[in-house]
Structure formats: C-alpha cells, structure tokens
Structure 1
Amino acid sequence: MSDTLAGRLIAVPETRALDLFCDMLEGRGATAMRCPMVRIRDAEDGVPIEAWLNRFVTDPPHVMIFYTGEGLMRLVGFADRMGCEEAFVDTLSKIRKITRGPKPVKALRSIGLDTDLRAVSPTTDGLVETLQGEDLAGQRVGVQLYPDHKARALLDLLDALGANVDRVIPYRYVPAQESTEAARLIERMAEGAVDLIAITSMAQISHLFDVAAALGIEDALADGLTKTDVASVGPVATEALQARGYEPTIVAPEPFALKSLVRRIEAHFAP
C-alpha cells in the first residue's frame, strides 16, 4: 500500500479488530506488535440480564440509553437464547432510543432500527449535556452500561430529573492472554523499543495498569509511557489515559474509527 510507517514498531492491544488494525498498519510499512489485552464475554451471571429483559418486554421503559454497540448486541444475544429476540427488538422499536456514540447507532441499524437522539459528544459528559432539561420525571429509563463504567454523572442527573432507572451490564472483560505478554510489552516500552502504542478502549488501559501493579512494575510502565508515543481512538480512551495522568500524543478525529486513527498516526510520523 505505502511505506509511510516504514521502520516503526507499533504496539496494538486491540482484540476484536486486531487483524484488521494490524493489516492497516503493516500495509503502510509498520511492524505491528500484537498484544491483545482483553476479550469481551457475556456477563458471568446471566440471571440478572434475563430478568432485565423480561422487565423490558413486559413493562417497557419510556427511554433506553445505550452506551455501547457491544452492549446492545449482547442483549440481542441473550434475548435470542431466551426465545424473545423478536419481542425485544419490537419493543425497542416503539420507545425512545438515545445513544452515546457511533457504535450503538451502527448496532441499532444492524437490527433495522435507528437512534432517536445522539449525545453531543460520545462521552458521559456528552450524554449529560444532551439530557439536561429533559422532562423525565416519573419515566422509566433503561441504561445499558459497560464494565467498570464511568457513568456516575449520568446516573446522578437521571436521579435529579426524577427518572426511574433500570440499568443493565450485559458483558464483562477477561484477560486476552497471560500477564507475561503484557509485562513483555511494558518491558519493550521501557527500553524505548516501541515507537507507539495505539489504545482503542478504556479496558486496555485498565488491564495494562493492573498487570503492572500485580507484577510490581509500575515504574517500568511509567517510564515506558514517557518514552513511547500514545495514540487514542477517541474521547473515552483519552479520558482513561488522562485519569492516569497521561496525555495521548495522537487522538483520532470523528468518527473515532481505526481508519481515522491510522491517518493521524501517518501524519504524526510524516517527515
């Protein structure tokens, strides 16, 4: 394709789109260091998810807020196994749907639906700004969250607006590989051998720091993050980095996708 990233070693902790992302980088001459951090699995205990779906179908909320496309598709999967997928999608079609970012919009469209309202920015703060002044008093509001969510501000707002919130977290994160692999990545970064690490989710940051803490190599990770350029795919990953005291070197523009991130990486390393 090109050699705009020739000679660059880029760490890729992505999991779901690992091959796609690495192909895009390698097609531009980079060496991709595959180091998937986390995998996504259904919630370990399915009983609360099934109970939530039963409530959703039999006594639907007035509003449904989706944080992630993964969350919506996991709910569709649970509903399918329960034998109520058609009822779930039909019910969803009749209520107001609010989305945080582009991925839940894409997931809705994959089941023949669309969003009714998008957050002004794909963050919790964006949802809060969007919903300020909404008349939700006495309304039932479903909220699909994600593991280790940072949604307190949204939940507080919904409470202040008088909404009755019914939340659900339909999936969890599990390590994608042995901690020794993440430790090896930290070691290479601390050596200054990695040109850039491309962060595509908050969970990747959490896992990297968790491994460093568990193995007592926090100083090596801190050293590595000062020697290695850090690219972020969007606001959520950026906020996760900032919460740890680090500013990304590169942030992808909207629509916060891999293609736009790769273009920014190319521009960063351009002579």
Structure 2
Amino acid sequence: MVESGSLSGFEGRCIALPETRQLDVLAGLLERRGAQVIRCPLVSILDTPDQASVAAWLDHFVHDEQVRDLILLTGEGVTRLLAAAERHYVRPAFEARLGQVRKIARGPKPGRALRQVGLASDVISAKPTTSGVIETLQTLSFETDRVAVQLYGSEPNLPLQQALRAKGLEPMPVAPYIYASEMDDVRVLELIDTLSEGRVDAIAFTSQPQVRRLLDLAGEHGREVSLRAALSGMLIAAVGPVVADLLSSRGVHVDVVPEERYFMRPLVDAIATRFAAA
C-alpha cells in the first residue's frame, strides 16, 4: 500500500462522493491527501418496512434444523439481521444457529460483520459478485435442499435463486434492509449541474443504488445528455467489480477499480495512483 504522505496525485483535485454510510471516513481519507471533496450522499439504508417477513424468516431459520446453509451477500445484511433478531427477542437463538450452519459469503464483508458475534464465514466466493457466488456453489455439496439467502437490499437476485433451484435446492430468502433516497431531487440535480460545469475531476461510486439514482434522475429531468458529457470528461472510480459492471452496463466508462481489496482505502489509493500517473 502506498503511504498517504507520499501521494501527491490529489493536489488541486476535486472529487465527488455519492457515499452515505462511510461518507466522513471516505472524505477524510481524500481530504488528508489534499483533495477537495464534494459530499453528495444519494441514498440511505433503512430497515425494511416489512418486518413481519423478517420475523417469520428468523423464526424459520432458528427452528428448522433442515436449514444447514446460509448465503450472505452483504455485511450490512448480517448487521441488520442481528439487530432484527434483537428486536424480535430471538438474538441468542439466532446467534446459536449462525454458529451451526455453513456460512457462504459473497466476498469478505459478511465475515467482518460476523466477527461482532465471534463468528466467521465458512466459505468465501472467489469473486465478490453474484456470479462468483454461483460459481462457488457449483463446487459445494449440500446435506439438505434448504438454503437460507440474505439478499442485497430488496432485490430478489433471481439469477442466484435460479442457480440454487437448478441444483435441486430451495432458497429461503430474506431482505432485511432497503435503499431509500436521502437527497431530495433538487439536490441531486444540483450535483448534476455541478458535474456539468467541469470543475470536478473524479467521482467515486461505492454502491449500485448510487449509480441508478444519479442516472435515472438525470433521465427523468432531461439532464442525461449533460450528465453523460460531464462523466465522459472525468475519472470514474468504482469500489469494486459489482459497481463497475453496472456502470459499464449503463454506458459509463470506468477508469479505476481496486485490484484486490474492495474497500475505501484501496479505492483512494487506486485513484491517487491514477492521478499521479497522469
């Protein structure tokens, strides 16, 4: 890792950050290296309003001994499920069952969340993507046909569920959280206008909902052409391949993705290296 003191690539650079959860952390990493930061949180993460379905899933997971495997797609999901178990008075039983089942994680983040209860992932997909999880599933054998699945936000992740059914397995999905708009439309449009002025050198995306909200709102308000023109003239960074793939699928070029570790500090290092080489 390159030490922050040796990084000069951010001097005079302006970086836009759509991050929400770790906005201050990410902004601090950049500002300490000399960057000017535009904070623009586009989405927030909330507990799902459908708490009844989460309570029913927890009850099933705790009491059905035929559930021997749990697929965890996000660290956020692990944290939200633990909090939900606390609210529904089943946390000790939930933690006990977590320790009994095989925990199949999409990348390292679920494992980091499990550490708060002294547990770890049993299987980690080689790639932190749905396709990576599906590839990993092909190498595993299953004792029963029931597999619990913690979803990414409220998306049903049909490719994963279809892959499980193709193996003769029955997915038991739960969506413990949702993404919601944090900035009102006016502020998002102001961000688009700021990007269009050409004063921003880079934008760093850290989740798929950020990408969708920015592009979709631009389209709804007749600013898609100006936004895409602005993006084409700046450095586009993605925290990992999942976000990078969505950007590419929406016609946005991606200049920077950390090579191995898909976290905030490697993202900042990768952006700095790219600027320093320019």
Place the TM-score, normalised by the shorter chain, in its bin: over 0.9
Report whether the alignment pairs 1:64 with 2:70.
yes
Any conservation in 2 of the 1:189–1:228 contact (CA below 8 Å)? no
Q: TM-score, normalised by structure 1?
A: 0.95
User: What's the CA shift for 1:68?
Assistant: 0.2
Report whether the alignment pairs 1:178 with 2:180.
no
Structure-2 residue corresponding to 1:78: 84
Which ranges of 4 or more aligned residues in structure 1 deviate by more than 4 Å?
none
> For structure 1, which segment, 164-173 or 145-154, has the greater mean C-alpha deviation from structure 2 after superposition?
145-154
Any conservation in 2 of the 1:187–1:224 contact (CA below 8 Å)? no
**Post-superposition CA distance 1:27-66 (Å, at most 9, x none):** 1111000000111000012110111001011114110000
Q: Kindly report the root-mean-square deviation, in angstroms, between the aligned alpha carbons of the 2 structures.
A: 1.5
Q: Which of 203, 206, 209 lines up with 1:203 in the alignment?
A: 209
Which whole-Å CA distance do the structure 2 matches of 1:190 and 1:226 have between them? 10
User: What's the CA shift for 1:137?
Assistant: 7.5
Structure-2 residue corresponding to 1:117: 123
Give the aligned residue type for 2:178: R
User: What's the CA shift for 1:219?
Assistant: 1.3
User: What's the CA shift for 1:184?
Assistant: 1.5
Structure-1 residue corresponding to 2:59: 54
The 3-state SS of whatever aligns with 2:232 is helix
Report whether the alignment pairs 1:41 with 2:46.
yes
Give the aligned residue type for 2:38: M
User: What's the CA shift for 1:185?
Assistant: 1.6
Superposition pairs of residues 99-138 of structure 1, within 5 angstroms: 99-136=105-142, 138=144
Report whether the alignment pairs 1:8 with 2:13.
yes
Give the aligned residue type for 1:75: L
The 3-state SS of whatever aligns with 1:62 is strand
Give the aligned residue type for 2:221: L
Which whole-Å CA distance do the structure 1 matches of 2:32 and 2:143 have between them? 53
Any conservation in 1 of the 2:68–2:144 contact (CA below 8 Å)? no
Which whole-Å CA distance do the structure 2 matches of 1:127 and 1:225 have between them? 31
Any conservation in 2 of the 1:136–1:162 contact (CA below 8 Å)? no
User: What's the CA shift for 1:243?
Assistant: 1.6
> For structure 1, which segment, 252-261 or 93-102, has the greater mean C-alpha deviation from structure 2 after superposition?
252-261
Which whole-Å CA distance do the structure 1 matches of 2:35 and 2:225 have between them? 28
Which whole-Å CA distance do the structure 2 matches of 1:230 and 1:43 have between them? 31
Any conservation in 1 of the 2:106–2:125 contact (CA below 8 Å)? yes
Give the aligned residue type for 2:151: L
Unaligned runs of 5+ in 2: none
Report whether the alignment pairs 1:169 with 2:165.
no
Which whole-Å CA distance do the structure 2 matches of 1:121 and 1:39 have between them? 26
Give the aligned residue type for 1:184: E
Structure-1 residue corresponding to 2:239: 233
Q: Which of 248, 263, 266 lines up with 1:260 in the alignment?
A: 266
Structure-2 residue corresponding to 1:17: 22
Any conservation in 1 of the 2:154–2:175 contact (CA below 8 Å)? no
User: What's the CA shift for 1:73?
Assistant: 0.7
CA shift in 2, pair 1:72/1:12, >3 Å: same
Unaligned runs of 5+ in 1: none
User: What's the CA shift for 1:4?
Assistant: 3.5
Which whole-Å CA distance do the structure 2 matches of 1:182 and 1:195 have between them? 18
Which whole-Å CA distance do the structure 1 matches of 2:228 and 2:104 have between them? 38
**Post-superposition CA distance 1:199-247 (Å, at most 9, x none):** 0111110111222123221112211211121001101111111120223
What percent identity do the matched residue pairs reach? 40
User: What's the CA shift for 1:186?
Assistant: 1.2
User: How many pairs align?
Assistant: 271
> For structure 1, which segment, 74-83 or 223-232, has the greater mean C-alpha deviation from structure 2 after superposition?
223-232
Any conservation in 2 of the 1:137–1:163 contact (CA below 8 Å)? no
Q: TM-score, normalised by structure 2?
A: 0.93
